Amino acid sequence: MSRGYIVPIGGAEEKFRDPAILRRFLKVCGGPDARVVVIPTASRLVETGPRYVELFKEFGAANAVSLPFEERSDCAREDWLTEVRDATGVFITGGNQLRLSTTIGGTAVATLLRHRNHHEELHVGGTSAGASILSEHMIAYGEEGPTPRCDMVALAPGFGLTQEFIVDQHFQQRDRLGRLLTALAFNPRPIGIGLDEDTAAFISPEDRLEVVGSGAITVIDPSEMEFSSMDSARRHDPVSVIGIRLHILTEGCTFDLHSREATHPAANLSS
């Protein structure tokens, strides 16, 4: 009995020409034996769930099903809970992460996802909003820009699959360095993971992160932060953050969430 993979994706992952991320996720979930549950709750588009179901079946999954939890009462449906209990992987789509937290947070579905990921090797991935919701704390919304500011970001509880990191997505495309730094300046315990579009962090049960995709992942390690002015900053003020480490990781690079060591692809091949 061990933890499953956690796979946050930065959004806009390639689905047709070279769907490397989705194929890799399916492989982790068991390949031809995979049974994937898609949760499209974050999206307002009715076609979102069926589109991912079609893709996973096309890639060779034994079974894929969409569970469109629209109301909190849906989260008590025993037939849908059975689907989650039988799944080898759960994929959470993009949209609005607050729809995920307000609809599913604190329900039997959220409890089951966390328990099965921690103890029954259920692999859980999410793209965009579905990536943000995976950790204990999520970025609910915020402003763009490279400089952290006192009121730049709003945090909310996520599904709590991990306490080790906090995620931001569409990172380079929407200039979100400042809001991730702001989130870490409040409390520099977790690692900050900024995911570019079409880029995923495949985080193993041993908390080893591997980059897959065409973009980059910005990893912010605040463990040696010497100073943050968050406690004295006024509304709209820029915030000082001193002593953090920043890594830019592309495909094949890894990062150990425990040792806080980053490794490039050539070093991984030689080891």
Residue 270: the pLDDT is: 65
Q: What is the largest CA-CA distance in the chain?
A: 55
pLDDT digits (tens, 9 = 90+) for 167-187: 999 999 999 999 999 999 999
Provide the pLDDT confidence category of residue 71 given band limits of 50, 70 and 90: very high
> Is residue 128 annotated as a catalytic residue, yes or no?
yes
The catalytic position among 43, 170, 210, 228 is 170
Mean pLDDT of 106-124: 98
How far apart, in whole angstroms, are the C-alpha atoms of residue 257 and residue 6?
13
Contacts by 79-84 with C-beta closer than 8 Å and gap 24+? 80/109, 81/108, 81/109, 81/112, 83/37, 84/37, 84/109, 84/112, 84/113, 84/116
170 is catalytic: yes
Residue 2 designated active-site:
no
Which backbone phi and psi does 102 adopt, to 5 degrees? Answer: -80, -25
pLDDT at 109 over 80: yes
- What integer is the mean pLDDT of 107-121? 98
Residue 271 pLDDT > 70: no
Query: 267 pLDDT exceeds 90?
Result: no
Q: Quickly name the fold that domain 6-270 has.
A: Rossmann fold (3.40.50)
pTM recorded for the entire structure: 0.97
Q: What is the mean pLDDT of residues 107-133?
A: 98
- pLDDT higher than threshold 80 for residue 24: yes
Residue range 202-250, pLDDT digits in tens: 999 999 999 999 999 999 999 999 999 999 999 999 999 999 999 999 9
* Residue 224 CB-density burial (10 A; 0-12 exposed, 13-18 middle, 19+ buried): exposed
The pLDDT tens digits of the residues spanning 31-47 come to 999 999 999 999 999 99
DSSP 259: T
pLDDT at 52 over 80: yes
Instruction: Give me the mean pLDDT over the 9-30 stretch.
Output: 97
What pLDDT was estimated at residue 268?
73
Mean pLDDT over residues 54-61, rounded? Answer: 98
Report the mean per-residue pLDDT for the chain.
97
Q: Which of 13, 132, 197, 210 is catalytic?
A: 197
Taking residues 66-81, report their average pLDDT: 98
- Tell me 166's DSSP state: E
Q: Which of 128, 132, 135, 228 is catalytic?
A: 128
Nearest CA to 253 among 191, 209, 203?
Answer: 209
Indicate if the pLDDT at residue 1 is higher than 70: no
- Taking each continuous run of H as one helix and of E as one strand, the counts in the chain are 8, 17
